[in-house]
Copies of this chain bind each other. A is one copy, B any other.
Amino acid sequence: MERHVVRFVDQMAELYEREGFAPIAGRVFARLLLSPEPMALGDLARDLRVSKASVSTETRRLEGQRVLERVTRPGDRRVFYRIANDLPVRIMDVRLERMRRFRALLGQGRKRLPPDARGLRARLRECERAYTVFLRSSQSALTVWQRAQQNGRRAK
């Protein structure tokens, strides 16, 4: 791997770790992001200097989030992975899901509140409303983006 790839991979690992993911997930993601071709598990493990076990686990987790796509080649038993072509959408979906969970938790907390806690209830509800606003705005942006992508492809 060239120097700039190593740098990129390292920084992405740190970023992923800070966001609560496994560092190796960030490494795999970064490596594939800078690969013009899909890569096999063995290639990833070799480049990243980690075990195939970790790569296998994390790739399938990322595949579950639809950040990666599994591809096969005729006459090749290996499993290749590549970055999903709608990557931005998938990443945003992960973020949106996190926001929904947080809002849901706020709602649960509010519902359990004793009847006399009016101030608290108002505060929580306001926070939920804020999340609703942001979620709606983000989802709207997501839709716009998806439409633009479709049109772009159609134009080609």
A interface residues with partner B (beta carbon < 8 Å): 2, 4, 7-8, 11-12, 15, 17-21, 30, 33-34, 36, 83, 87-89, 91-92, 95, 98-99, 101-102, 105, 108-109, 112-114, 117, 119-120, 123-124, 126-127, 130-131, 133-134, 136-138, 140-142, 144-145
A140 nearest in chain B by CB position: B137
> Once the chains bind, are B4 and A112 in contact (CB under 8 Å)?
yes
Interface of chain A, main secondary structure: helix
Could you say which residues of chain B place their CB within 8 Å of the CB of A88?
126-127, 130-131, 134
> Once the chains bind, are A105 and B33 in contact (CB under 8 Å)?
no
A109 nearest in chain B by CB position: B8
Could you say which residues of chain B place their CB within 8 Å of the CB of A20?
17-21
